[in-house]
Structure 1
C-alpha cells in the first residue's frame, strides 16, 4: 500500500482494480506479517468458503448430504478451479469466485422463492464481486437475465427489489470510481485501457488465443473428468418436470455458465483464470446429473444403500480425478526446482538467520517474468530492515565491486562470474550469496 487506502502505489495505475482484495491482504499482512501465509491465507479462506457454499447449495438443490459432498469434491478436483491465479496463489480470483457463486445462487433462490431479501443479497454479493475485480464481477449479468426467462420467472423482474438492488450496486461502484479518479486523475482512463476496452478489443501482452480456447481448455484439462457428466446433466435436467429443483438448477447453470463462456470467447485478451467463476456452478450441475443417474439405478435394482455405502460410492466416483489433481499439485510444487528464482525466499530467510550482519546487498534478476523475488525483497525489507537493490541482466556490469549479490540459478551465476571475480559467502540449493571482487 502507499499509505493511502484508495491507492496501491504512487503513481502507478497499471493495477486499476477496486481495493477490496488489497485491503484484505493489508489486514492479513498486519496480523501475520509479510509472509507466505499472510499472502495466501485470504485466498485459501475464500476457496474454503466457496467449497462450503457449494456443499450447502448441493444439500439444498440436490436434496441430500451426499449431493453436497459430491459437488464440493468435484469442485476441488477441477483443474480450472485449483490452479494458479485462483486457489493456488494470493490473487483476486478466489475471492471473486466466492462472491459470484454466492450472488448467482442467491439469485436462483430469488427466482425460486420470490423473496425480496434474496434479490437484495444477490445485489450485495455482486457489488462485492465488482469491488474485488471490477467488471469481471458483473459478467454473470447477461446469464442471470437469460436464466430468469429460461426458468419462466420473468414476472420476478416486475418487482422493485431487483432493480433497487442493481441501482444500489451501480451507485456504490460509481461512488468508488469517482473517489478514485479524484485521488489520481487518469484512473478512469486506465480502467478503460487495462480492464474494459483494452482487453475486450485487443489481445494485450501477447495473449493470442483462438475464440474456442476456453472450450478446448475445459475439455482437455480444466474440467476433463467431469465435462461429459455435466453436459448430460444439463441436457437431461433441462427437461425435468417444471418446478423441480433439478430443472431449476440445470437451466440456471446452463444459462449462466454458457453465457460467461460466450462473453469470454469474444473477449480478445484471454487468460487461463478468467473462467474460474463457472466451476462452482458446473460442479453443482455435474453432481446433480450423477446423483440422478445413481438414484435411477438404485430404484431399478431396488437398492437401499445406507450412509456408509453412499459415502463409499462418492469416494469411488472422485478417486481418479482426486489422484490426478494430487499429481498436478505435485508438479506445481516441483516447479520451484525448475525455476531457480522461486528459491530466493528460502535463501534470503536462511541468510538473515546465519548472517545477521548482512543487511545491504544486491538481488540478481533473471529474464523470467516472476513476482516471487519482488515479494521476498519487500518482505525482507519490512521484516528485517534489509536494503536490497534489484539488478536486471543488462545492468550486471554496473554493480560496484566489493558488494554482496544474491544469485539463483547456475546460468545466472555464470553470467555474473564472467563479469567479476567472486567469493562464495553462502549457498542454499542453487542460490548463492557472492562477494564481488575485482573484475577479470
Structure 2
C-alpha cells in the first residue's frame, strides 16, 4: 500500500491479499506512520501502542463520567496494564490488529452502556462510530460483543432503545459504511467476499483453521496459568464486592462487566479455531471487575468515617494497593525492559534478527536468496527494507537451487536438505544462521 498507493486493497508479495481478509484500517494507520516516520518497526508498532494509551485514557474518562471516581479508574488501569496477556505480542507490543480492536470494542461497549443510563445522543454516536471502526479493524470479531449488549438491554428493561429513531439511523450508517467497503472491495478484487466467508465467518468459527485448535477451556486455562494468573483469583472477589455496593451504579457496572466477559468468553471458547490473542478484549472488563474488589477495600480503609480520622488507615489503604500491584508491575517491567526469548522461539526469530543487523552491514546480504519454509511475513518486512537499499535479496525454493546461488538459511529442515542434496561451500555460521554458496547438485 505504501508503494502502490492502493488504499482499498492490501497486497502481499505483489498480489491482492486473500489470506488476511480483514479490512485495512490498521494497515492505513501503519502506512500513515510510515510516511511520517519512515518504513520501520516503530511505524508498524506505533498504532498498537497509541491504541493502548487511548484505551487507558478512555477508561478514566468513562469512570469519571459514570462513577465520578478517580481511584476506581486508576485501579482499573493498573490492573489492565499489568495484565501479562494484554501487554504482549500480538497486542500492544507488536504491529497486529488486536490492540486497536480492543480500543474500539471497549469504546462502543461502554458508550452503549452510558447511552442506556443517560440517553445522551453523543454516546449513541460514539457507539456507532466505534462499532464501525471495530469492524473496519478486524471484521466479524468487531461484532462479538453485540449479543451481550442485546441481552443486557433486555435484562435492564431499556426497551426505549427499540423505539429510538436515532438507533435506526445509526444502524443505517453502519450498514452503509461497512457494506460500501465490502462491495467496493469485491468489485475491484473479485472473490474477496467468498474469501471472507471461508476465512472469517463459517470457516474460522465452524472449522479449525491452520491447526489452531484447543479444548473448550483453552482460554480459561490460558488466563489462569499464563496471561492473567496474578489477577484472576480476584475476579470472584471483585464480583461479590461489586454487587454488594450500596451505590447502584457500582452494582450495575459489575453485572454489566460480568455479562460482557462471560458472553465473549463463551463465544470464543465455542469456536473451533482458537488463538491466544482472541482473549485480549476480555482484559479491560475483567480489570473493572477486579477493580471493584480492590476499590471496595481501598475505599473502606481510606474513607470509612470510623477510620479516616486515624492516620494509619489512609496509609494502609495505599500500602494495600501497592502490595497487590507490586508483583504484577515488576513482572511487567522485566518483560518489557528485559525480555526473555524462549528456546523454541530462537529458530523462528533468529533470521529476523540477522536481517535487521544486516541493515547496518549491507555487504552481508547483497545478492543472497533466503530459503525459508512456511509463512514469512516477519522476514519479508526486513527483506523489503534491504531491497529498498539496493540489496537485490529474495526468496528461493531450496529444492531448486542452482550453481552459484548464494543462500541464507536458518531452519533445521532446510539446512539439512541443502547439505544432503547439494555440494556447497559454507561461507559463515552464526547461531542458527548458515550462509552457503551452491557449487552443484549431488549426483
Q: Mark yes or no: TM-score above 0.5.
A: yes
Superposed CA offset, 1:307-346 (max 9, x none):
8765544322111122344455578642489423413344
Q: Residue 229 of structure 1 aligns with which residue?
A: 234
Select the residue among 144, 149, 161 that pairs with 1:139.
144
Number of equivalent positions: 433
Alpha-carbon distance, 1:238 to partner:
3.4
Q: Residue 159 of structure 1 aligns with which residue?
A: 164
Alpha-carbon distance, 1:416 to partner:
3.5
The 5 Å alignment of 1:106-117 reads: 106-117=111-122
Q: Residue 49 of structure 1 aligns with which residue?
A: 54
Once superposed, what is the RMSD of the aligned Cα atoms? 2.9
Q: 1:282 to 1:429 in 2, by over 3 A?
A: same
The 5 Å alignment of 1:11-160 reads: 11-160=16-165
Q: Residue 203 of structure 1 aligns with which residue?
A: 208
Q: Secondary structure at the match of 2:437?
A: strand
The 5 Å alignment of 1:4-403 reads: 4-9=6-11, 10-238=15-243, 240-241=245-246, 244-298=248-302, 299=304, 302-303=307-308, 311-326=318-333, 333-335=340-342, 338-356=345-363, 359-365=366-372, 367=373, 369=375, 371-382=377-388, 384-393=389-398, 395=399, 398-403=400-405
| Aligned counterparts of 1:214 and 1:358: Cα–Cα separation in 2 | 42
Q: Residue 409 of structure 2 aligns with which residue?
A: 407
**Is this contact kept in 2: 1:58–1:71, CA < 8 A?**
no
Alpha-carbon distance, 1:80 to partner:
2.7
Q: 1:338 to 1:215 in 2, by over 3 A?
A: closer
**Is this contact kept in 1: 2:86–2:280, CA < 8 A?**
yes
| Aligned counterparts of 2:370 and 2:209: Cα–Cα separation in 1 | 29
**Is this contact kept in 1: 2:406–2:437, CA < 8 A?**
yes
Alpha-carbon distance, 1:214 to partner:
2.0
Alpha-carbon distance, 1:439 to partner:
5.7
**Which blocks of at least 5 consecutive residues in structure 2 are unaligned?**
none
**Is this contact kept in 1: 2:128–2:174, CA < 8 A?**
yes
| Aligned counterparts of 1:53 and 1:225: Cα–Cα separation in 2 | 24
Comparing 384-393 with 169-178, which one deviates more in the overlay?
A: 384-393
TM-score computed with the length of structure 1 as normaliser = 0.88
| Aligned counterparts of 1:124 and 1:255: Cα–Cα separation in 2 | 23
**Is this contact kept in 1: 2:299–2:317, CA < 8 A?**
no
Superposed CA offset, 1:264-298 (max 9, x none):
22222221111211211221221122101222345
Q: 1:349 to 1:94 in 2, by over 3 A?
A: closer
Q: Secondary structure at the match of 1:435?
A: strand
Q: Secondary structure at the match of 1:22?
A: helix
**Which blocks of at least 5 consecutive residues in structure 1 are unaligned?**
none
TM-score computed with the length of structure 2 as normaliser = 0.88
Comparing 22-31 with 117-126, which one deviates more in the overlay?
A: 22-31
Q: Secondary structure at the match of 1:436?
A: strand
Q: 1:311 to 1:216 in 2, by over 3 A?
A: same
Q: 1:199 to 1:288 in 2, by over 3 A?
A: same
